[in-house]
Amino acid sequence: MIQDFRKGIQKMKHIYQKGKDLSKPTLLLLHGTGGNELDLMPLAGMIDEDASVLSVRGNVLENGMPRFFKRLAEGVFDEEDLIFRTKELNQFLNEAAEQYEFDRDNMIAIGYSNGANIAASLLLHYENSLKGAILHHPMVPRRNMALPDLTGKSVFIAAGTNDPICSPQESEELYSLLEQANATVELHWENRGHQLTADEVAAAAKWYQNK
């Protein structure tokens, strides 16, 4: 079911699908630039077909393309908007958990590109917002900020050695930041660019099953 969520800072279009096993984490799906709440639904089934799914559409439009926060240029984030939109998403998740009656403390994000960036921002700004995350081609959302204590959180990062948008150095820096924040992090490399590959999704599924 696709709904408009009318509470919170601003409604967020989304899909919620109740899973077969409510003891499993709710999978939070966060699309890349130009995507929508339908894009990553197939990934949820590949990661855990029995889990509940909450897939959200970003509230920002860039030349008609949905995003989760504004940017000033390619790879240059609007930090003020990032902070605001991260707060907006976190509040939406609180209220969605209440409406759909899922465990707010048992949520794992699956994000690609811009969606992975907002998921990383959630972890760094709200240390209890996620139990863990699968981040496909993320960048460092913010630098020079006090790190949270992410003890007990698990993060999988998929990166491309030839990614023209997210450099290998960017992936390694995010890996290092999350480790410094006491998260358990796995960094998976593909000899590819910025595209989301079947191999990295398979690696993410294996990580999820073994974590």
Catalytic residues: 113, 163, 194
CA 31, 33, 36, 42 torsion-angle sign = negative
How many whole angstroms from its chain centre is CA 11?
18
End-to-end CA distance of the chain: 30
Q: Which residues of 98-124 are buried (b: 16+ CB within 10 A; e: fewer)?
A: eeeebebebbbbbbbbbbbbbbbbbbb
CA dihedral 153, 158, 162, 168 (to 10 degrees): 10
Rounded Cα distance between 139 and 162, Å, is 14
Enter the tokens of residue 103.
């465990």
How long a stretch of residues is the chain?
A: 211
Residue 110: C-alpha distances to residues 9, 31, 32, 115, 146 (Å): 23, 9, 11, 8, 24
